[in-house]
Structure 1
Amino acid sequence: MQGLPGGGGARFWLALLLLQQARVGSGACPCQDPSLCNPISGSRDFEVFVFDVGGKTWKFYDWSQITTVATFGKYDPELMCYAHSKGSRVVLKGYVSVKEIVKPTVRAAWISQQVDLAKKQYMDGINIDIEQEVNMSSPEYFALTALVKETTDAFHKEIPGSQVTFDVAWSPGCIDKRCYNYTGIAESCDFVFVMSYDEQSQVWTDCIARANAPYNQTLGGYDDFLRLGISPKKLVMGVPWYGYDYTCLNLSKAHICSIKEISFRGAPCSDAAGRQVPYRIIMKRVNSSLSGILWNEEQKAPYLEYSDRQEAFHQLWFDDPRSISLKAAYVKERGLRGIGMWNGNCLDYSGDPIAQEQTKAMWEALKPK
């Protein structure tokens, strides 16, 4: 998930002004049933956390499972009303520059704006998505933990039953130079959403195409979080509903795809050599591929190979119901808080019968067996 670009003080205050302008003008409940504007309270035994990036595909989600929708697209009062009718929370996206929040007054102003916006839009909390570089024990390191705690305290006080969550990388090991106080942040909010994808953002070995979220690497990240003393009930597993398409500089008979060297935050190679592709597009490419869907047993992930119009070979790695089900089983085994995905819009919600089956299978894979 990508946040807005960081900036100076002027841009920060401009962002606050834009938030003010984004509010629902009258403050009147937009739902036909005014009771649907009441915040959702209580919690379910198993969390299914969905990121929505806009549009109307939410109408076709599996609402029998969803507990929370994080709105990363334009505010949609119809979505809020519908989610509340299903007993599901709808939360804001929260982003702020870590350099700005070192100042307590800026933190307080930002939090006040978020609470006010949530009230105006009848939202049930906020999902804080920062993803910026932070050095260990730096002023930003302590300020970020303080921001999470202060935001949680404010939301819980002002909106009873509200939920505050924070997005973390797939491992607590300073991924992409995000050296956060993971234990402090987890303790300070309702739970953290672990982004178990983009796990090739920093590649320190051979520059070859790999799975977006390899099974053992993914589970190793959770083991590391748990070893820090973070409760499993504070962890929601995020899975990708998209993959990476890599152009191969060379594709061997053993299915090794060499890729362009593109560095990222110190690492010599990264998944920036590929491009993100939603699951619905991947499935449309299967029949025209050279390989059909292949399976890598070591990474426990599917992939396919195809050639483009310039006759260049590609390798496309993704997650499907088989790979996601394996991870969902770990969620159940270790007693994690739940599961979720980036993002709900990636599936094909058209009336095509084959697409309907594929989409249903992806939603079903979230249910631990």
Structure 2
Amino acid sequence: MAAWCLLLLAALCPALVSCAPQCPCERPELCNPITDVRDFEVYVFDTGRSSWKFYDWSKVTTVATFGKYNPEFMCYAHSKGARMVLKGDVPLGNIVDPANRTDWISEQVDLAKKQFMDGINIDIEQGVKQDSPEYYALTALVKETTEAFHREIPGSQVSFDVAWSPKCIDKRCYDYVAIAEACDLVFVMSYDEQSQIWGDCIAMANAPYKQTLGGYDDYLMMKIDPKKIVMGVPWYGYDYPCLELTHEGVCKIANVPFRGAPCSDAAGRQIPYRIMMKQLNSSTSGRMWDDNQRAPYYNYKDDQGQIHQVWYDDPESISQKAAYVREHGLRGIGMWNGDLLDYSKDPVAQQQTRDMWNALEPADEREP
């Protein structure tokens, strides 16, 4: 806008000018919304560390910001043609009332405009009973949020995070078909798949191959458009203290109930990929591979002599799942989260990090 026009606007409507968000980028055009629709999405969750400077920006298409807002980050993402979207979360009991729902959506749209964001990722992982007031309110929330963002920020993207399977995982009995129809993308969180362990209380893979892909089969059988589905993979694993390590190498874990199941992954703790790669070198077993779960794992002893078993995903296990994305025409792939790799200058770490980023994209999708 020309300088004389801004002066005239300030004289006629000073309140409007004072309330208008000021672009924090050196190049003002970087505050414009990203409207390009990519054929293949690489969806990154960011938790607010400084790692974003070292992401593989030749691949990233969307960043969901789960950390503190950083205008420098927004400008940089836009300079790479990548969307940056808000995190959207609200107690479902608060939005059963349509007026409350409208207020929440208006707040999110206003915040997105203020921060020059390109949409919102709705991350509501709360238990919902089928046909309850919350069940219908959640679907309405997604539909109304999408309509508001598309109207107020043309070209914006609204995504919704779903469990690894539509079968009421952790009591999340959502109307998945209606939700997928209402928004632009559904991000399938194919991890924490041992949140409810109904069989033996033993350490297992965070995202077993057959179980993971069976969840996508179920979503596709519901006739959800594959071009709306983004596969989520974990860049972290689980460290389980073993009550006993059998001769067959099975790690028996403590019974920690969760939502009716007798045991769960809460018997262990989440551990970042960067930490595991360092720990692997001093493990008692070295990297091992489970053919049934198609996942790597290793054993180690802590300072007190306690045996631990760590299950995780690495380029081999991730690339096998990523092949499903290509074979079934899914929209893309992403991870929780982009900050869990080692972005230091150590040559070994740099190669490990490159391999993890490269595993995300099926070979046919990569740039020549």
Q: What is the DSSP-based 3-state SS (H/G/I as helix, E as strand, rest coil) of the residue aligned with 2:53?
A: helix
Q: What is the DSSP-based 3-state SS (H/G/I as helix, E as strand, rest coil) of the residue aligned with 2:104?
A: helix
Question: Runs of 5+ in structure 2 lacking a partner?
Answer: 1-17, 364-368
After superposition, residues 1-369 of structure 1 pair within 5 angstroms as: 27-369=21-363
Q: Distance in 2 between matches of 1:228 and 1:266?
A: 26
Q: What is the DSSP-based 3-state SS (H/G/I as helix, E as strand, rest coil) of the residue aligned with 2:202?
A: coil
Q: What is the DSSP-based 3-state SS (H/G/I as helix, E as strand, rest coil) of the residue aligned with 2:360?
A: coil
Letter in 1 for 2:106: S
Which string of whole-angstrom CA distances, capped at 9 and with x for unpartnered residues, describes residues 224-254 of structure 1? 0011110111110000000000000000121
Q: Distance in 1 between matches of 2:226 and 2:152?
A: 27
Q: Distance in 2 between matches of 1:221 and 1:81?
A: 36
Which string of whole-angstrom CA distances, capped at 9 and with x for unpartnered residues, describes residues 292-342 of structure 1? 100000000000000111111100000000000001101000000000000
Q: What stretches of structure 1 move > 4 A for 4+ residues in a row?
A: none
TM value normalised by structure 1:
0.93
Q: Pick the structure with greater CA Rg.
A: 2
Letter in 1 for 2:328: R
Give, in angstroms, the shift of residue 42 of structure 1.
2.2
Q: Distance in 1 between matches of 2:237 and 2:63?
A: 22
Give, in angstroms, the shift of residue 255 of structure 1.
1.2
Which string of whole-angstrom CA distances, capped at 9 and with x for unpartnered residues, describes residues 258-291 of structure 1? 0000011111110000000000000010111001
Q: Distance in 2 between matches of 1:282 and 1:273?
A: 18
Letter in 2 for 1:328: A
Letter in 2 for 1:352: D
Which string of whole-angstrom CA distances, capped at 9 and with x for unpartnered residues, describes residues 165-222 of structure 1? 0000000000000000000000000010000000000010000000000000000000
Letter in 1 for 2:151: K
Superposition CA RMSD, Å: 1.0
Q: Distance in 2 between matches of 1:258 and 1:172?
A: 28
Q: Distance in 2 between matches of 1:309 and 1:336?
A: 45
Letter in 2 for 1:264: F
Q: What is the DSSP-based 3-state SS (H/G/I as helix, E as strand, rest coil) of the residue aligned with 2:339?
A: helix
Q: What is the DSSP-based 3-state SS (H/G/I as helix, E as strand, rest coil) of the residue aligned with 2:227?
A: helix
Q: Distance in 2 between matches of 1:26 and 1:43?
A: 27
Which string of whole-angstrom CA distances, capped at 9 and with x for unpartnered residues, describes residues 27-72 of structure 1? 1000000000000002111000000000211000000000000000
Give, in angstroms, the shift of residue 93 of structure 1.
0.1
Letter in 1 for 2:349: A
TM value normalised by structure 2:
0.93
Question: Runs of 5+ in structure 1 lacking a partner?
Answer: 1-23
Q: Distance in 2 between matches of 1:311 and 1:193?
A: 40
Letter in 2 for 1:150: E
Letter in 2 for 1:126: I
